[in-house]
């Protein structure tokens, strides 16, 4: 009777569900803890056993998927590549203009320091003077 109760507690997960879970684990889309939560699995060893048992089958299925779908996604990859190239060009232009602005501001600071004999740039090595009355105990 105890054996029968134990069997009822643990239900066998269908193979399709196990293969799906192993695929998610192998591809890195979900970690073990997420799979345990999503598939209501109490023991982490269960997932590792599934991976051990079905890994070869899932990897073979994934390689077949990638070979058959690579031709289908070629136009999308070209669009994505063009989009990335245009964004890269835009960012390079922004960087160029930012560097020009920095050079102009540094030149302006240098001229102001020379003409007005005022130190504008921050001197990180200089120590700040203490205000009178601070740090003294009365």
Nearest to 83 by CA among 72, 94, 93, 91: 91
Is residue 25 within 8 Å of 51, Cβ to Cβ? yes
Residue 97: predicted pLDDT: 95
Ranges 70-74, 119-123, 134-138, most confident: 119-123
Bigger pLDDT: 22 or 101?
Answer: 101
40: left (phi over 0), alpha (psi -120 to 50) or beta: left
Q: Which two tokens stand for residue 110?
A: 């240098």
Chain mean pLDDT for the chain: 80
Q: How high is the pLDDT of residue 103?
A: 95
Domain boundaries, the chain: 8-72
Which pLDDT value is given to residue 82? 86
pLDDT band at 126 (very low <50, low <70, confident <90, very high): low
């Amino acid at each position: 009777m105890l054996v029968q109760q134990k069997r009822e507690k643990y239900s066998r997960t269908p193979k399709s569900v196990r293969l799906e879970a192993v695929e998610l684990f192998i591809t890195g889309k979900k970690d073990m803890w997420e799979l345990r939560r999503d598939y209501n699995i109490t023991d982490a060893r269960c997932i590792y056993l599934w991976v051990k048992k079905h890994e070869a089958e899932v990897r073979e299925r994934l390689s077949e998927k990638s070979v058959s779908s690579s031709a289908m996604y070629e136009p999308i990859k070209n669009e994505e590549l063009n989009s990335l190239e245009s964004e890269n060009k835009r960012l390079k232009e922004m960087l160029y203009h930012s560097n020009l602005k920095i050079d102009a501001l540094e030149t302006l600071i240098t001229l102001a320091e020379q003409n007005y004999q005022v130190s504008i740039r921050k001197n990180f090595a200089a120590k700040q003077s203490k205000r009178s009355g601070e740090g003294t105990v009365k």
